[in-house]
Chain A
Amino acid sequence: MDEKTRTAAGIAASLQGITYDDKRLAELAAEVEVLNDAVRKAAAARLTFDDEPAAFASLMEREARK
């Protein structure tokens, strides 16, 4: 079991109370790594302290054709 899979195993057992076999944990660790990396990279290039989720809804209202 590699480090990422061990981390996933720890999250599953200790934080979420869910049991998966080693094969599935390895698959999930790989899947989460791809998703996390993509969001982390996008966030690093764009987000600042003042960004909040609700900005999306206000922007949509503001950007509607007048």
Chain B
Amino acid sequence: MRNDDIALWDLSEVSDAIATRRISSVEATEACLARIEAWQPRVNAFLRLYKDKALAQAKAMDTELAAGKRRGPLHGVPMAHKDMYYRKGELSTGGSEIRRNWIAPVTATVLEKLDAAGVVELGFLNMAEFAAGPTGHNEHHGHCRNPWDHSRVTGGSSSGSGASVAARLVYGALGSDTGGSIRLPAAACGVVGMKATYGRVSRAGAVARSWSLDHVGPLTRTVRDNARMLAAIAGHDSNDSTTSEKPVPDYEAELGNGIAGLKVGLALPNDGPVPLDAGIGKAVQAAADTLGRLGAKVAAVTLPDFTALYRAAEVMVKCEAAAMHRPWMEKTPELYANQVRTRMEAGFFIPATQYIDALRLRAHFVKEFLSTSMEGLDAVVLPAIPFPLPTIEETDTENKGGPAVLKMVAGFTGLTRPFNTLGVPALSLPCGFDANGAPIGLQLVGRPFDEALLYRIGHAYQGATDFHTRVPA
């Protein structure tokens, strides 16, 4: 073990140590609670902390283990989740004012799976209001702050998930991703985030942003941790008809296979809503060079027309969000932050034919992507966020606004949202730090259901770099 503070260990180290009874789940939980006490005032990652309940749960996990029962590789591991996963009979705010006192009528499938796996639940985490916003601002519950620099954004909408994992408050956290909301906070906070293939993880019992584009997934400190957590939550769910019946692979089993001979495309797109920053491009190029030294065959690749993919996603999100939010938008519009409400309003004006065409286009977009950009390749690497991380103030659309601010905020999802339209898996992992000392995220994109291969590449990369081992002070 590399550190006396258990909170600083990775999920895999902690779960293995609990399994062999070198440490107890109670000790791991207490270590997280101590760290949360020190960091919560600085980052505002938690919306609710269940200290006593978590300790009781940890004690129960230790008792089970002492009796010879180990539920699986997450037995006794403390986590917390974006406050949009329902637990029956308990508060679930969705980061909103509207649901500040709302009690969930069901438990989300992913929470049931983590319960069954023996995960200890520390509480629920900050997020953008109704998962709408790429920065981590929240007008109702307070902005989440980046552990690396408290003046800077965490990325969103899974802001608390990114911040809490980066600050070593939890070993893993659930996020959700409609346009980048797992990958952006992972990139901005220097952790690992997986948006698995659409249909790989159940959305049942989670606050929807867009039924067609929402992806549930894990944020962790390492790729191995992420693989372990995804394995626990993936799979078919009769409560979510969009989930796949494909068997869930043993993601960890393939991690050590290396990447010699794999073909990786490098994309440094400069035609998004904002140009690619030279420093970010350099960090991603360096990451690609590292993959090359590890034996991958790396070549430049051209991505499809992101504008069409981006606009189609916007049509889906706006129409679906406007439909589900309509009753509140009519009766209590003042309870939304302006930027959250106004982003949905266009959905009332988009013709149904355009919405349906956006849905019909997805299969064509996927075919084109696989037969052009991905042709002959195993994965594509590109940046997650195209510019150095801005401050909370610089991206305050609610109180500051203006075209430049709006353009910067829109630019966050320029390189992530198209992969929600495509539904293909995309992994974000740290690949450096910008001139301000804030993390830079590398995005790995693969073919449908190729999460295991992305993990394999990411794990090899983390074996050759140390960005994921650095801890914010």
A interface with B by C-beta (< 8 Å):
8, 11-12, 16, 18, 20, 24, 28-29, 31-32, 34-36, 38-43, 46-47, 51-53, 55-57, 59-61, 63-65
CA A56 to CA B331, docked complex, whole Å: 36
Asked if B308 contacts A63 (CB within 8 A), the reply is no
CB distance from B374 to the nearest CB of A (A): 10
> Is B450 an interface residue when CB atoms closer than 8 A count as contact?
yes
Cross-chain contact A46 with B318 (CB below 8 angstroms)? no
Chain A hits for B361, CB < 8 A: 39, 42-43, 46-47
Query: B351 — which chain A residues lie within 8 A by C-beta?
Result: 36
Are B197's CB and A47's CB within 8 A?
no
Output the least CB separation between A45 and chain B (Å).
Answer: 9
Interface core residue of B312, B348, B370 (most chain A CB under 10 Å): B348
Q: What CA separation (Å) do A42 and B244 show in the bound complex?
A: 28
Q: Which of B94-102, B140-148, B352-360, B393-401 contacts A (4 or more CB under 8 A)?
A: B352-360
B218 on interface, CB distance cutoff 8 Å: no
Q: Which of B310-358 contact A (CB under 8 A)?
A: 311-312, 314-315, 318, 330, 345-346, 348-351, 354, 356-358
Q: How many A-B residue pairs have CB under 8 A?
A: 106
Given A47-B364, A51-B363, A60–B423 Cβ distance below 8 Å? Answer: yes
CA distance A41 to B423 in the complex (A): 21
Min Cβ gap B208→A in Å is 17
Question: Across the interface, do A40 and B199 meet the contact criterion of CB distance under 8 Å?
Answer: no
Instruction: Determine the chain A residues whose CB is within 8 A of the CB of B315 once the complex forms.
Output: 35, 39
Q: Are B242 and A53 in contact (CB under 8 A)?
A: no
Shortest distance between the CB of B383 and any CB in chain A (Å) = 23
In contact, B346 and A57 (Cβ under 8 angstroms): no
A56 nearest CB across to chain B (Å): 4
Q: Check A29–B349 contact: CB distance below 8 A.
A: yes
Question: Contact between A38 and B307 (Cβ–Cβ < 8 Å)?
Answer: yes
Residue of A at shortest CB range from B242?
A57
Whether A64 lies near B450 (C-beta < 8 A) is yes
**Which of these, A31, A57, A64, contacts B447 with CB under 8 Å?**
A64
In the complex where A42-B361, A55-B360, A59-B366 touch, is A36 in contact with B350 (Cβ < 8 A)? yes
- Enumerate chain A residues within 8 angstroms of B367, measured Cβ to Cβ: 59
- The answer to whether A51 touches B364 (Cβ under 8 A) is yes
Contact between chains at A60 and B359 (CB < 8 Å): no
Are A60 and B345 in contact, with the CB atoms below 8 A? no
In the complex, which of the residues A38, A52, A63 contacts B360, with contact meaning CB atoms closer than 8 Å? A52
Least Cβ–Cβ distance between A34 and chain B, in angstroms: 7
Cβ of A15 to closest chain B Cβ, rounded Å? 9
Task: Output the nearest chain A residue to B329 by Cβ-Cβ distance.
Answer: A18
**Please, which residues of chain B bring their CB within 8 A of the CB of A47?**
357, 360-361, 364
Q: Given A32-B350, A53-B360, A56-B363, decide whether A18 and B330 contact each other with a Cβ distance below 8 A.
A: yes
Contact A64 B449 (CB under 8 A): yes
Q: Among the interface residues A11, A38, A47, A59, which one has the most CB atoms of the partner chain B within 10 A?
A: A38
- What is the bound-complex CA distance between A65 and B451, given in angstroms? 11
Q: Which residues of B contact A53 (CB under 8 A)?
A: 356, 359-360, 362
Q: In the complex, how many angstroms separate the beta carbon of B316 from the nearest chain A beta carbon? A: 10
Chain B residues near A29 (CB-CB < 8 A)? 349
Q: Does B246 contact A (CB under 8 A)?
A: yes
Q: Which 8 A-B pairs have the closest CB atoms?
A: A38-B311, A53-B359, A64-B449, A55-B363, A56-B362, A43-B357, A46-B364, A60-B448
Q: Is the CB of B346 within 8 A of A35?
A: yes
- A18-B330, A36-B354, A38-B312 known; A12 vs B349 contact (CB < 8 Å): yes
Closest to A62 in B: B448
CB pair A35–B354 under 8 Å, yes or no, is yes
Q: Is there an interface contact between B198 and A60, defined as CB atoms closer than 8 Å?
A: yes
A56, B244: Cβ atoms closer than 8 Å:
no
A43 to B362, CA, bound (A): 10
Q: Is the CB of B348 within 8 A of A12?
A: yes
Q: Are B346 and A64 in contact (CB under 8 A)?
A: no
Complexed CA–CA distance, A51 and B365 (Å): 12
B423 touches A56 (CB 8 A): yes
- Besides A16-B348, A18-B330, A56-B359, 12 more A-B contacts (Cβ < 8 Å) are A32-B349, A35-B354, A42-B311, A42-B357, A55-B362, A56-B362, A60-B449, A63-B370, A64-B246, A64-B449, A65-B447, A65-B453
